[in-house]
């Protein structure tokens, strides 16, 4: 589904990614773990097309199409979805307006008609209910005054509504209590199927107790240095990352 080849990227002349190679197939759940500052979130942002980052070298292919130079919105329309680590608050724009605009942008891209208001409400309310959120959530301004848990649930609401091909979860588990973590994980598990893929970026094992990854990557200094299965997660939990540098 997504092939990242020898990707190097920087921000404000500071090199962060130093040759990332990653291949995610449909139906797979990948995890990237690494210390703070190892470049995990940069990778998530570069995949989503954040223009604050400069791609110096390498390429990103999505379903065999080179998207390295593609605009942020076109990447989204082609199936990439970034669950933000720190979703930004936008006072004055309701969740309903935002979500419907996003859905309609996707429908237009697919050559389909805009979603009917009633159908939109029906679908959204169903997802809200599953996430334990009140219907009035749609009337609130985007992430404005949301608790940490509500912000992450809002991301999952968007994920389930838009139903992309690749979900990149950038530390979606940070700042969540156990109940919220379970709800978020339930949402991600509901999303994943054999036709889409998930890339989880995390520091901790706790989210992975609920979402089972197929492949685990460990990242140091902007490079994936080790790839393996769930046993790598346990090794990191017990020994940290220093053994990788020996």
CA atoms within 13 A on the CB side of 120: 19
241 is an interface residue for another protein by CB under 8 A: no
Q: Are 17 and 43 a contacting pair, CB within 8 Å?
A: yes
The alpha carbon of residue 81 and the mean position of all alpha carbons in its chain are separated, in whole angstroms, by 6
C-alpha 170/C-alpha 176 separation (Å) is: 13
93 is an interface residue for another protein by CB under 8 A: yes
Interface residues for another protein in 37-56 (CB under 8 A)? 48-52
Question: Considering only 2-10, 96-104, 119-127, 206-214, which stretch makes contact with another protein by CB under 8 A?
Answer: 96-104
Say how many residues touch another protein, by CB under 8 A.
30
Interface residues for another protein in 103-132 (CB under 8 A)? 105-106, 109
Report in angstroms the alpha-carbon separations of 149 from 86, 129, 142, 155, 215: 11, 15, 14, 10, 27
Which residue of 8, 20, 31, 77 would you call a contact of another protein, by CB under 8 A? 77
First to last CA, the chain: 33
Q: How far is the CB of 196 from another protein (least distance, A)?
A: 16
72 is an interface residue for another protein by CB under 8 A: yes
Q: Which residues pair with 17 in a beta bridge?
A: 9
92 is an interface residue for another protein by CB under 8 A: yes
138 is an interface residue for another protein by CB under 8 A: no
Question: Considering only 12-20, 66-74, 119-127, 188-196, which stretch makes contact with another protein by CB under 8 A?
Answer: 66-74
Which residue of 101, 129, 147, 209 would you call a contact of another protein, by CB under 8 A? 101
11 is an interface residue for another protein by CB under 8 A: no
C-alpha 26/C-alpha 63 separation (Å) is: 10
C-alpha 125/C-alpha 138 separation (Å) is: 9
Which residue of 76, 201, 208, 215 would you call a contact of another protein, by CB under 8 A? 76
Task: Kindly give the residue spans of alpha helices, DSSP state H, lying in the chain.
Answer: 40-48, 72-77, 95-109, 117-130, 148-162, 178-191, 231-239
158 is an interface residue for another protein by CB under 8 A: yes
87 is an interface residue for another protein by CB under 8 A: yes
The answer for residues whose C-beta is within 8 angstroms of residue 41's C-beta and 6 or more apart is 85, 170, 171, 201
96 is an interface residue for another protein by CB under 8 A: no
Residues making contact with another protein (CB under 8 A): 48-52, 71-73, 76-77, 81-82, 84, 87-88, 90-93, 97-98, 101-102, 105-106, 109, 141-142, 158, 162
């Amino acid at each position: 589904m997504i092939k990242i080849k020898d990707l190097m990227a920087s921000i404000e002349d500071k090199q962060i990614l130093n040759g990332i190679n990653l291949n995610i197939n449909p139906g797979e759940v990948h995890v990237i773990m690494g210390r703070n500052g190892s470049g995990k979130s940069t990778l998530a942002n570069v995949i989503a097309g954040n223009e604050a980052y400069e791609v110096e070298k390498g390429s990103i292919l999505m379903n065999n199409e080179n998207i390295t130079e593609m605009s942020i919105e076109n990447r989204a329309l082609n199936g990439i979805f970034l669950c933000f680590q720190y979703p930004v608050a936008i006072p004055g724009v309701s969740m309903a307006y935002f979500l419907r605009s996003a859905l309609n942008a996707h429908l237009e891209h697919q050559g389909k008609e805009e979603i009917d208001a009633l159908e939109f409400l029906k679908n959204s309310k169903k997802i809200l209910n599953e996430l334990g959120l009140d219907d009035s959530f749609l009337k609130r301004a985007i992430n404005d005054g949301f608790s940490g848990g509500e912000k992450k649930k809002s991301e999952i609401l968007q994920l389930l509504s838009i139903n992309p091909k690749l979900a990149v979860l950038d530390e979606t588990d940070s700042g969540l209590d156990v109940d919220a973590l379970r709800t978020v994980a339930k949402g991600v598990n509901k999303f994943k199927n054999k036709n889409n893929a998930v890339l989880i970026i995390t520091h901790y094992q706790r989210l992975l107790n609920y979402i089972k990854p197929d492949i685990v990557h460990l990242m140091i200094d902007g490079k994936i240095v080790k790839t393996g299965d769930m046993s790598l997660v346990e090794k990191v939990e017990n020994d940290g990352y220093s053994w990788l540098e020996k």
